[in-house]
Amino acid sequence: MNELHDNKAAAARAGLRLGSRASPLALAQARMTADALATAGSAGAAIVPMSTTGDRVQDRALREIGGKALWTRELDRALLDGEIDAAVHSMKDVETQLAPGLALAAMLPRADVRDRLIGALSLADIADGAIVGTASPRRTAQLLHSRPDLRVAILRGNVAGRLQKVADGAVAATFLAAAGLDRLGVDAGVALDLADWLPAVAQGAVGITCRADDAAMLTLLAGIDHWPTRLAVAAERGLLEGLGGSCHTAVAAHAMGDAGGWTLRADLYSPDGADRLRDSLATPVLATLAEARALGLALAERLLARATPAIRQSLEAASHPPSLEAASHPSPEAASHPSPEAARPLPEDGG
């Protein structure tokens, strides 16, 4: 509590308060944002670390609690209450619909979007029947599609903790986002080829939110906004929106382009990886966020038209996640008798 008070006091003196999750990766991204603002001419910013529900709840599967708001709701509340001026997020943790009163004001240049495999040189090199740790429905489905013989165990925690689990032999392998490892200065793992293994929606992108009515902050953040990243992420988030998906959805996507044209690729899986749909859409011009979102929605429509029963069922389930409040306070009966959902993969957290 004293540390949080000291940070708030420092932020007040600096004049600009940047809210962030308190994990090492989140703080590294907050420092990147502060540095970008300083380069753009800001007088300075202080980082206000905050503990989120996703950080605190370690005894239950996060899919039982409610979705991507696990990582953002405390920061959203602090913004709306005026405790901070802007909040820094990993964009893959941000819901497609922001809380009322908030605006997505800027994104930093996107980093390496790929996943890295930790513990083996390739998927083929993982021993038959081995246990692979991941907290991601997407990664689980991708893995089982390629290697149905493998077993998946829930693996939570920060980057260092997950690397240690592999080193200790608790799991044979795991996956981490290349961007997160690079930002922490960690040289580990083998990058997976995008031709076979697409990333999460918005992976590698850092976004900054602020109050929608804070004109001065919107103007300040516009000075560090990286437009190509904004367009790519808008297309990918449009896809997720069109699928009615969430962090519980086994969907992978990547948009990239330049003045010569843009392409959005996507893979959609059943939770067990047995079914996979692949598709892509290209456009010669992508100039506005509305056009980027429309590209994503159009690709989602194409995928939905071909969805198998297992994929449709998973999308319907993902569109009705448990509420945060109800799941954060389970009944004594629920606590005594955990549901089978507790053994299923969680939303991606950290890497």
Q: 170 lies in a domain? A: yes
pLDDT at 156 over 90: no
pLDDT digits (tens, 9 = 90+) for 202-218: 999 999 999 999 999 99
Q: 142 lies in a domain? A: yes
Confidence category of residue 332, pLDDT binned at 50, 70, 90: very low
Amino acid at 206: V
Catalytic residue among 55, 76, 85, 93: 93
pLDDT at 335 over 90: no
pLDDT at 298 over 90: yes
pTM of the model: 0.85
Q: In sequence order, which ranges of the chain are alpha helices (DSSP H)? A: 2-14, 24-39, 53-56, 69-80, 137-146, 159-168, 178-184, 215-222, 227-243, 289-305, 309-318, 324-328, 332-336
CA 83/CA 12 separation, integer angstroms: 9
Q: 254 lies in a domain? A: no
pLDDT digits (tens, 9 = 90+) for 98-112: 999 999 999 999 999
Number of domains in the chain: 1
pLDDT at 65 over 80: no
Query: What pLDDT does 176 receive?
Result: 97
Q: 180 lies in a domain? A: yes
CATH of the domain at 177: 3.40.190.10
Structure tokens at 56: 């605190």
Confidence category of residue 333, pLDDT binned at 50, 70, 90: very low
Is 93 catalytic? The answer is yes
CA 102/CA 59 separation, integer angstroms: 31
Q: Which domain holds residue 180?
A: 115-200+336-343
Q: 145 lies in a domain? A: yes
Query: What pLDDT does 305 receive?
Result: 97
Mean pLDDT across 309-314: 94
pLDDT digits (tens, 9 = 90+) for 242-282: 998 766 789 999 999 988 899 999 999 999 999 999 999 99
Query: What pLDDT does 62 receive?
Result: 54
DSSP 203-223: TT-EEEEEETT-HHHHHHHHT
55 CA to centre of own chain: 14
Contact of 273 with 142, CB cutoff 8 Å = yes
Higher-pLDDT residue of 195, 93? 195
pLDDT digits (tens, 9 = 90+) for 222-236: 999 999 999 999 999
pLDDT at 172 over 70: yes
Contact of 211 with 83, CB cutoff 8 Å = no
Average pLDDT over the chain reads 86
Higher-pLDDT residue of 56, 288? 288
CA 58/CA 349 separation, integer angstroms: 12
Q: 59 lies in a domain? A: no
Amino acid at 245: G
